[in-house]
Amino acid sequence: MFSIRQNPLLKGFMRRPNMKLVLQLLRYGVAGAGAVLIYSATYLLFANLVFAKGYAVFAVAPAFLLSLSASFLLHSRWTFQEHGTRDRGFGQPLRFTLVQAGGFALNSLFTYIVTVPLGGANWLALIPCVLITPVATFAAQRVWVFA
């Protein structure tokens, strides 16, 4: 009789997932959702009410600064609480800020491309910002900031 557990090609698929990593990803998602709400609300407020059409990219900075603060608190105290070590000095906050600066650059690029050359609505720029940037920053935070 055929058994998946006996097949060497399929054996790896039967392993139990790393539950610590799964729970960490869930916490990252919840904390990230809060940061995304802060980012999105601030971005849309500035992009639609403060800056003229075509200048939505300038709304990325205040949105990112507010979400950066909330994000560091949530991720350092909750998401990655059981992963790696905590740095009492400036090293860890600096690494976190550098990773987030990379996220800021990605969001600025996405926003510029969507709203200027493509002429899309301000809210369309949130799609790549919300779907791509968090994946990149999670990976960097896990292996470098909170390692």
* Residue spans per domain, the chain: 18-145
C-alpha to C-alpha distance for 134 and 110, rounded to whole angstroms: 13
Specify the higher pLDDT residue, 46 or 20.
Answer: 46
Please list the alpha-helical segments (H only) found in the chain. 19-45, 60-74, 91-115, 126-131, 133-140
Task: Name the DSSP letter for residue 78.
Answer: I
Q: What is the pLDDT of residues 69-116, one digit of tens each?
A: 888 888 777 877 766 665 667 788 888 889 989 998 998 999 999 999
pLDDT reported for residue 9: 47
Per the model's pLDDT, the better-predicted residue between 141 and 117 turns out to be 117
Dist CA 59 CA 49 (whole Å): 10
